[in-house]
Amino acid sequence: MDVRGEVRQPRFSSGSFKSLFRDFPVSCVQQLLLTHSTSDLGPGDLLDGRFQILERISQGRWSSTFKAIDTSTGRPVVVKVPPRHVGNTLHLREAQIGSQLDHVGVQRFVPVDDRVKSRPYLVTEYLEGHSLQDELERVGSLSVADALNLCAQICDALDYLHQHHIIHADVKPGNIMLCADGSVRIIDFGIARLTQGAFSAHVGTPEYMAPEQVKGKRGDARTDLYALGATLYEMITARRLFDTLPEDDRMNARLVGDPAAPSRYMPDLSPQVEEIILHALARKPADRYPSAAAMKADLVAPERVPVSGRASRLQAPVLAKLWWPVAQLVALCLLIPIVLFFVFLAVLKK
């Protein structure tokens, strides 16, 4: 399968209409505009005399992607085009961040002079291969050795990003590409931030968001490490964090509790590997790995990881809203006799 510059849209946790509009505040009119916003660009078109459009790869809320040929080099590329009704701020930031990147573990951006652009767009290298998400959907889970090796390579790329003061903010299987040449790449910097920036509430993919990201607070390198920990958890157990809870509760659960121990789903998992996963998934950033390099050091030598007993200290999330209906019922049961008593007294007075 061809690796794309933009994979399928994030799967937000809530299935309710309320959550849908909370997570994606896009009106029906905007959706209609989105459907037709890039209809003027299609196979056979030559964009700005340089990029020959071959096919549409995907269409999302904030951009459409096309496979194209860069006629100046003859190489295949991905052209990412925002809808005309969407502002260009996000794409300008992504282009700014992309222009700084040059690492074997990060998808490369192709420079294009803004002065020759007829419309806003980004261009990245085209990668042959498939996403980690596709791989997990095919095989369910990876061997522990393969999962640790893959995460160690991702740590190299994250360490490079963090040294350049960039937080990806959306590390997940869908944004990790397993390329045909054997390399592993991180893609999609659509919501990446410089370290001095703040996160917007509910921006990201809920299954992999760190607690501080859910709160909309400023994050740092450890925010990406939480997401990588969630990805490693899924690679080994074939389960996502908090997937036993109702969908509406999963994102908030990480604010008030810990995920189930990986060994619950994989009893023969070594305590050292479980320690690595739970270290990355600590609720407080200060309790996580301080850097991607530190996490990689444990990933490549798990036998040397000291076991601190994190698994025994996990606290299951207790969500207040789960108790609210019970509290209401108790209050109602207490109130009914009181009301009946006063009604009885009123009847006697008459």
CATH of the domain at 65: 3.30.200.20
The answer to whether 105 and 156 are in contact (CB under 8 A) is: yes
pTM assigned to the model = 0.79
Query: Is 308 within a domain?
Result: yes
- The last residue of a domain, from among 72, 97, 125: 125
- Shared domain for 173 and 82, answered yes or no, is no
Question: Do 77 and 160 reside in the same domain of the chain?
Answer: no
| Position 10 in a domain | no
Q: pLDDT digits over 255-308, tens only?
A: 999 999 999 999 999 999 999 999 999 999 999 999 999 999 999 999 999 999
Evaluate whether residue 329 is within a structural domain: no
CATH code, domain carrying 165: 1.10.510.10
67 and 206 assigned to the same domain = no
Among 86, 90, 107, 85, which residue's Cα sits nearest to residue 98? 107
Within-domain flag for 77:
yes
Residues 56 and 180 in one domain: no
- Phi and psi at 184, nearest 5°, equal -120, 130
Q: What is the pLDDT of residue 338?
A: 83
- Cα 144 to Cα 141: distance, rounded to the nearest angstrom: 9
Range of the domain at 192: 129-320
Going by pLDDT thresholds of 50, 70 and 90, the confidence category of residue 86 is: low
Question: How many structural domains does the chain have?
Answer: 2
Tell me the residue type at 147.
A
- 142, 120: one domain: no
Inside any domain, residue 338: no
What are the catalytic residues? Answer: 170
Alpha helices by DSSP H, 211-319: 211-214, 221-237, 250-256, 271-280, 292-299
pLDDT-derived band at 334, boundaries 50, 70, 90: confident
**pLDDT at position 27:** 41
Measure the CA angle with vertex 59, ends 15 and 168; round to 5°: 75
Q: Are residues 145 and 117 in the same domain?
A: no
Question: What confidence score (pLDDT) does residue 85 get?
Answer: 66
Q: Is 248 helix (H, G, I), strand (E, B) or coil?
A: helix
- Do 261 and 294 fall into the same domain? yes
pLDDT at 179 over 50: yes
193 and 57 part of one domain: no
Q: Are residues 116 and 149 located together in one domain of the fold?
A: no
Shared-domain flag, residues 175 and 210: yes
Among 96, 125, 154, the domain-final residue is: 125
Same domain, 164 and 254: yes
pLDDT at 234 over 80: yes
In a domain, 75, yes or no: yes
Do 170 and 218 belong to one domain? yes
Which of 109, 125, 141 represents a domain boundary (last residue)?
A: 125
Buried-state track 135-171, b at ≥16 Cβ within 10 A, e below 16: bbeeeebbebeebbebbbbbbbbbbbbbeeebbbbbb
Mean pLDDT over residues 216-233, rounded?
Answer: 94
In a domain, 341, yes or no: no
User: Looking at this protein, which amino acid is placed at residue 85?
Assistant: H
Rounded to the nearest integer, the mean pLDDT of the chain is 84
**Domain-embedded: residue 337:** no
Q: Residue range 157-166: average pLDDT? A: 96
